[in-house]
Amino acid sequence: MSSLYLYQILLNNFGKQNWWPVDKKYHEKNGTDPRFEIIIGAILTQNTAWSNVEKALLNLKSQKMFNIGKLANEDIKKLTMMIKPSGFFNQKAIRLKNVSKYLKDKYNSDLDCFFLRDTIDIRKELLSLNGIGPETADSILLYAGNKPIFVVDAYTKRICERLPLNTNKSYHEIQKYFQKELTKKYQGEELIKVYNNLHALIVIFAKKYCKKKPTCRNCPIVKHCNFKEKSF
């Protein structure tokens, strides 16, 4: 099975997802940048469920923390308490402060200035920041920066192993495989939308069917999966 065929099957079964979820009305009312909420969310979602991230985001929103300068200058103990529902809150508070301070000091809190550069350069810069790995960097690039890059997460790796797709287990090789396949059919803004949608579709599919202990009955790709022998 190719990644293109996987995308078409998942799209037919689950439809378009329109990720990343942000509170646009809040940002319009407060004059803040929704892209910064995505950056915050990408860090908070490390090693935790999105439902926990939402609780932390609500706490930050109530304190009007979706502001680069304000978050950069916030007391670390207060910030830690705000994001406590997301887990690993001490680490994440430091990471949020570091990223905010970096954007404030180097880019004058201007995300247009930060994102209006080559994707490879931005990615290298993000990866140089403490606590930002490939998945977090690529989530920021795709969802906040609207850059054509595919996000690989644990669900993607699991599906690649079980089908299997023609990849090894490394982040880079999986990403390279998906991007090579999908760029044969899609380009430009359409490609960005496909990357956006496919990542969301994989998450939904993995949560519903391709769990650690899979639910193979009624799975839309079960006939293509080598793992089904062990689970029926």
pLDDT block averages, 10 residues each, the chain of length 232: 93 93 92 97 95 96 96 97 97 97 97 97 97 97 98 94 82 94 96 96 95 92 80 51
Q: In this structure, are residues 113 and 158 in contact, taking their beta carbons and an 8 Å threshold?
A: no
pLDDT at 230: 55
pLDDT at 171: 94
Rg (CA), the chain: 18
Q: In this structure, are residues 70 and 64 in contact, taking their beta carbons and an 8 Å threshold?
A: yes
Contacts for 48-52: CB closer than 8 Å, 24+ residues apart: 48/86, 48/87, 48/88, 52/85, 52/86, 52/87
Q: What topology is assigned to 3-17+150-230 in CATH?
A: Endonuclease Iii, domain 2 (1.10.1670)
Instruction: Please report, for the chain, the start and end positions of each structural domain, with discontinuous segments joined by +.
Output: 3-17+150-230, 32-144
pLDDT at 77: 97
pLDDT at 173: 93
Closest C-alpha to 117, from 146, 77, 82, 79 = 146
Whole-angstrom Cα distance, residue 16 to residue 8?
A: 11
What is this structure's pTM? 0.94
Peptide bond into 21 cis (omega under 30): no
pLDDT at 18: 84
Cα dist from 75 to 35, 41, 65, 78, 80, whole Å: 22, 19, 12, 5, 9
Task: Confirm or reject CATH 3.10.20.30 for domain 32-144, answering yes or no.
Answer: no
pLDDT at 226: 86
